Amino acid sequence: MLRSLVTALAVSTLLAGNLTAQAGGSPAPRLSPETEALLRPVLDSAAQDSLPVSALQSKALEGAAKGRPPAEILAVVRGLAGRLRQARSVLSQAVPGAPVAAGDIVTAAEAMAGGARPEDVARLRKNAPPGASLEIPYAVLGELVRRGVPVGQASDVVDHLVESKVPEARIIEIPARVDVAIRLGAPPVAALGRALHGLGLPVPPPVPGSKGRGRGRGRGRGGGRG
């Protein structure tokens, strides 16, 4: 159940077409022989690089469900493969020699596509407890940045929650709480503060001599513009 929530939250662009077809009882989209032939070198290369090939296949099926031409599907899948390759490189270099989970690669790539920086992704992996799954934290990081929370502050919050060993089931609630606060008129930073307070989650301590880490575009931690 938890993994399906992660998919709905952060990887919907990868799986929406396929999951919708399955859930609706209609035939699942299929790739044409031409599309399969075009994609084969990309998928083979991804497999050799230990990338999550299933994410690329799902992206291709999404394009097929929308009736996209083979060349367009190829371009989109190639772009995704590049983002996944970058994410895997960042994660591997952050903790050399440690295995990298496919889900972490996908959501880290999505977070960076949404505005998170490689150094934010790497820091989260370095500071996480050994063996911890970061699929949900990366998904939430990306969602907070997409909602307008400055990337430095979003990264600080998620990093602190992971270091504090807050359960994934709590972390995944944050974006929806932020949405509620934004609808009520709070700017993104203040909305995040309200979400954390409402969930009873720890807030990162300020860095002495600075307003937050100074890495985002916000006006300091917690206060926002509201």
Mean pLDDT by 10 residues, the chain (226 residues): 42 38 52 93 94 95 93 96 97 94 96 95 93 93 96 95 92 96 96 95 67 40 36
The answer as to whether 200 is a domain residue is no
Per-residue pLDDT of 137-185, as tens digits, reads: 999 999 999 999 999 999 999 999 999 999 999 999 999 999 999 999 9
The answer as to whether 76 is a domain residue is yes
* Cα 17 from Cα 24, distance rounded (Å): 11
Instruction: State the burial class of residue 99 (Cβ atoms within 10 Å of its Cβ: 0-12, 13-18, 19+).
Output: exposed
The answer as to whether 142 is a domain residue is yes
The answer as to whether 156 is a domain residue is no
The range of the structural domain enclosing residue 81 comes to: 2-146
Of 74, 155, 163, the C-alpha closest to 121 is 155
Residue-level pLDDT at 179? 97
In the structure encoding, which two tokens stand for residue 217, read together? 């575009």
The answer as to whether 185 is a domain residue is no
* Cα 93 from Cα 138, distance rounded (Å): 17
The answer as to whether 83 is a domain residue is yes
- Indicate the number of domains in the chain: 1
Backbone angles phi, psi at 61, to 5 degrees: -65, -35
The answer as to whether 215 is a domain residue is no
